[in-house]
Amino acid sequence: MTDVTTIHQPVLLRECVDLVVPALAKPGAIAVDCTLGLAGHSTAFLKASPEARLIGIDRDTEALSLATRRMEQEGLADRFIPVHAAFDEFARVLEERNIATVNAVFMDLGLSSLQIDETERGFSYSHDAPLDMRMDVTQPLTARQILAEYPFADLVRIFRTYGEERFSKQIAREIVRRRETEPLVTSGQLNRLVDEVVPQAHRPAGNPAKRVFQALRIEVNGELDKLAGTLPQIANHLAVGGRLVVESYHSLEDKTVKTFMNQGLKADVPADMPVIPPDMQPFFKELTRGAIKADETEIAMNPRSASVRLRAVELTRPIPDRWRKRFDRGNDYRTMTRQGRRG
């Protein structure tokens, strides 16, 4: 039996609790953890908020099962609702439960401790394992399939866009060449391929395959499109005074979160407008003054916190109808990125 408390160290736990819990003080308050994982953050939220209930969403059935058992062991099961879904199904999850608004939404993006530590899932470049990388093992697309079937141009696109890899073309070209005679089926094979392609003089710190593995994981799971499409759903279901709290672990995630939050942090008027009408005022209030990072003590205790960026906003007034309609139309990563450049 897996002991979740020994394999799961919640990142910036105290800071997350301090940001989430003030929104859950009223009786009947509802929180949603969109990335439940092993429920390290969620159990802390419920313990600090005795009047609140929490909906825990996860696409990983094993994590969901372990988290549910943890809630039972902690005596919190009567205030916990587990849901097997991807977080971009946020609106559907609430609608199916006749919930119009919630008071706090939390997202801890990236890999859970379970996914990293279970080497057979193929997420880590430090262990030789089948190239799977699915957060939801019921979905068909795997990293192995991408490497076997994607054309050269698509491989270049995902390595460049999602991995920010400067040698995307060279790596993609070598993958296409090798797969004609030898299928790429393990993380060790891919690791060695990247090691042979990337010049020694131009390597980033750490393993040279890190960016390629990140890009594949994002493509397999549709992470950035799902994130860009979920944030508007969350905003449209926040109660006034509700809070959105997000932990990101790489620059593309953080850029997506920051771009979205900025839409509600700025007055919706031209820069030279002398008076701002009430309906044009910001509807978010920033709670973190940029991004909170882990300090040296936290990084020493939990090395996975080294890259975290924690951002949070509070909804201060009803979202204007024009923004609500825009959010209802949804979004994707490329559109969100263009909006960020315009902003």
218 vs 111, higher pLDDT = 218
Q: What pLDDT, on a 0 to 100 scale, did the predictor assign at position 202?
A: 82
Q: Mean pLDDT across the chain, nearest whole number?
A: 89
Decide: residue 94, CB within 10 A, 0-12 exposed, 13-18 middle, 19+ buried.
Answer: buried
Say whether both 59 and 36 belong to one domain. yes
Whole-model pTM: value is: 0.85
217 vs 125, higher pLDDT = 217
Q: Give the residue ranges of the annotated binding site.
A: 39-41, 58, 87, 108, 115
Task: Read off the CATH number of the domain in which 291 is found.
Answer: 3.40.50.150
Task: Read off the CATH number of the domain in which 131 is found.
Answer: 1.10.150.170
| pLDDT at residue 197 tops 50 | yes
Overall number of domains in the chain: 2
Question: pLDDT band at residue 3, thresholds of 50, 70 and 90?
Answer: low
Say whether both 329 and 267 belong to one domain. yes
Q: How far apart are CA 176 and CA 148, in angstroms?
A: 8
| pLDDT at residue 4 tops 80 | no
Q: Give the residue ranges of the annotated binding site for S-adenosyl-L-methionine.
A: 39-41, 58, 87, 108, 115
| pLDDT at residue 84 tops 80 | yes
Say whether both 52 and 139 belong to one domain. no
| pLDDT at residue 338 tops 70 | no
Nearest Cα to Cα of residue 243 among 263, 230, 261, 225: 261
| pLDDT at residue 121 tops 60 | no
What single letter denotes the amino acid at residue 232?
P
Say whether both 108 and 230 belong to one domain. yes
- Among 192, 223, 254, the domain boundary falls at 223
Q: Which of 100-109, 128-137, 239-248, 266-275 has the lowest mean pLDDT?
A: 266-275
| pLDDT at residue 275 tops 80 | no
- Among 172, 194, 223, the domain boundary falls at 223
Are 77 and 71 within 8 A, CB to CB?
A: yes
Q: How far apart are CA 56 and CA 201, in angstroms?
A: 45
pLDDT digits (tens, 9 = 90+) for 154-185: 999 999 999 999 999 999 999 999 999 999 99
Are 132 and 142 within 8 A, CB to CB?
A: yes
Q: What pLDDT, on a 0 to 100 scale, did the predictor assign at position 24?
A: 98
**Where in the sequence is the domain holding 146, given as residue range(s)?**
119-223
- Among 223, 244, 277, the domain boundary falls at 223
Structure tokens at 191: 């690791």
Cβ density class 112-151: b for 16+ within 10 Å, e for less: bbbbbebeebbbbbebebebbbbbeeeeeebbbebbeebe
Q: What pLDDT, on a 0 to 100 scale, did the predictor assign at position 268?
A: 77
| pLDDT at residue 226 tops 60 | yes
Backbone angles phi, psi at 211, to 5 degrees: -70, -35
Q: What pLDDT, on a 0 to 100 scale, did the predictor assign at position 152?
A: 98
Q: How far apart are CA 35 and CA 155, in angstroms?
A: 28
Question: pLDDT band at residue 1, thresholds of 50, 70 and 90?
Answer: very low
pLDDT digits (tens, 9 = 90+) for 295-322: 999 999 988 899 999 999 999 999 999 9
Residue 248's DSSP bridge partners are 309
pLDDT digits (tens, 9 = 90+) for 253-266: 999 999 999 999 98
Q: How far apart are CA 135 and CA 148, in angstroms?
A: 20
Q: How far apart are CA 92 and CA 114, in angstroms?
A: 26
Share of the chain above pLDDT 90, in %: 72
Rounded average pLDDT over 62-79: 96
Say whether both 334 and 228 belong to one domain. yes
Rounded to whole angstroms, what are the CA distances from 242 to 201, 253, 281? 49, 22, 17
Say whether both 100 and 177 belong to one domain. no
Say whether both 277 and 204 belong to one domain. no
Q: What pLDDT, on a 0 to 100 scale, did the predictor assign at position 127?
A: 73
Q: How far apart are CA 144 and CA 137, in angstroms?
A: 13
Say whether both 51 and 198 belong to one domain. no
Helical spans, DSSP H, in 164-275: 168-179, 187-197, 210-221, 223-236, 251-265
Say whether both 100 and 249 belong to one domain. yes
Which helix (H) or strand (E) element contains residue 328? helix 321-328
Rounded average pLDDT over 7-20: 90
Q: How far apart are CA 39 and CA 55, in angstroms?
A: 11
Say whether both 8 and 108 belong to one domain. yes
Say whether both 197 and 249 belong to one domain. no
Say whether both 203 and 138 belong to one domain. yes
pLDDT digits (tens, 9 = 90+) for 22-48: 999 999 999 999 999 999 999 999 999
